[in-house]
Homo-oligomer: A and B are copies of this chain.
Amino acid sequence: MADDAPRRDAALVALDWGTTTFRAWLLDGTGSVLDSVRTADGALTVSERTDSARARAAAFEATFAWLCRPWLDEHPGIPVLCAGMAGSNHGWAEAGYLDVPAELSGLADRLTVVPAGDSVVHIVPGLRDAGPDPDVMRGEEVQLVGALATAADRPETVVLPGTHSKWVRLDGDRVTGFTTAMTGELYGLLMRDSILARLATGEVGPKASAAFARGLEAEAAHGDERGLSALLFTARPLVLAGRLGSAEVADYVSGLLIGAEVRHALRGDPAAVVALCGPPSTEDRYRLALERGGVSVRIVEEDAAVHGLWRIALDAGLASLTPTATPASVLTAEEQPS
């Protein structure tokens, strides 16, 4: 913040503590971001350094205190809300699950309370489908809350692409079921270590290319007869034959993988309108694959997690909405609504 900007009071520390990434935001009484931190201190890194549940909890507490120290020192007793793998059975404290079908507003009633020095940390539960095809999510539920809070209409399906993409079916505010596809992880494994990685001269860029579209088309044309494991191998003979450039391999493979995920998901659960909420690097690709499947796509802004955490904090009474003391005209440039 510029020194001459009016001071806004901090109201909440919001944490999205995932497997590989730690993200934290300091929010004011309107849910706007005053400050933020992002590091590679993911839950896996923290838990791998420890050999007992007690040591693990201490390591999480110490990491949190270290990364958020300036905020905690300046705002003693500020409420803290945390989502993500920090709430798993290998995390800070096991925060359980809400079984679907479930109202998203129920997340706020099931927070797990963990003391942390002078602070109290509240951990959001995950969502679980305990039916015949079980599934779990932890962290994506706050993205989902944020996506719904900012979506223009009420989508029946929300797609959250990522390492483990989530396809969430909704009836209003109620999650009726969801499915996970490990497409992002498969892409990472293949492009890091496989025979395809040795062919490829680069990773995917921010925008889908012609090679991505070619992967989508090949999967749509041959996926049912050849299967993913055979389709993925086609990159190699195509490169050997000079019909696919080394620089195109990553995008082609991405097209095959995302194409297969989207085509199967839409076949299993046809949707006319989908809300898509992911990082910019995947948004363009999933949009193309979804539109190819005849679906109308609504893009939801990327950083839904912080909106979701704020929404849950309000529902839980951890924070209360205060009218902003700052007229829009004096917001600094980076705080302007985009």
Q: Footprint of B on A, CB under 8 Å?
A: 128-130, 133-136, 164, 179-183, 185-186, 189-190, 192-195, 222, 224-230, 232-234, 236-238, 240-241, 243, 257, 260-261, 263-265, 267-268
Residues of B with C-beta under 8 A to A193? 189, 192-193
Point out the residues of chain B lying under 8 angstroms from A263, CB to CB.
227
Q: Are A233 and B181 neighbours in the complex by a CB distance under 8 Å?
A: yes
Q: How far apart are the CA atoms of A298 and B252 in the complex, in Å?
A: 37
CA separation between A224 and B232, bound complex, in Å? 17
List, in ascending order, chain B residues with CB within 8 A of A228's CB: 227-229, 260
Evaluate contact between B179 and A264: CB separation under 8 angstroms. Answer: no
| Cross-chain contact A234 with B134 (CB below 8 angstroms) | yes
* Contact between chains at A134 and B241 (CB < 8 Å): yes
- The docked-state distance in angstroms from the alpha carbon of A228 to that of B194 is 18
List, in ascending order, chain B residues with CB within 8 A of A224's CB: 224, 264, 267
Contacts of A267 in B (CB 8 A): 224-225
Residue in contact with A237 in the complex, picked from B135, B190, B192, CB distance below 8 Å: B135
Query: Residue A230 contacts which of B129, B222, B264 (CB distance < 8 angstroms)?
Result: B264
Cβ contact of A225, chosen from B186, B192, B237, B268, cutoff 8 A: B268
The residue on B at minimum CB distance from A190 is: B189
CB-defined contacts of A190 to chain B, threshold 8 Å: 189
Provide 17 A-B residue pairs closer than 8 Å at the C-beta atoms, listed in order of the A residue.
Answer: A134-B238, A135-B234, A135-B237, A136-B237, A164-B195, A179-B230, A180-B233, A185-B195, A186-B232, A192-B193, A193-B193, A224-B264, A224-B267, A225-B268, A226-B268, A227-B264, A230-B265
Q: Which residue of B lies closest to A227 (CB)?
A: B264
Inter-chain contacts of A237 with B (CB < 8 A): 128-129, 134-136, 180
Q: How far is the CB of A98 from chain B (nearest CB, A)?
A: 14
Residue of B nearest to A90 (CB): B198
Interface contacts beyond A133-B234, A164-B233: sample of 4 additional A-B pairs, CB < 8 Å, sorted by A? A225-B267, A227-B260, A227-B264, A229-B260
- A180–B230 contact, CB under 8 A? yes
Q: Which of B129, B186, B234, B241 contacts A229, CB < 8 Å?
A: B186
Chain B residues positioned under 8 Å from A227 (CB to CB): 181, 228, 260-261, 263-265
CB distance from A88 to the nearest CB of B (A): 9
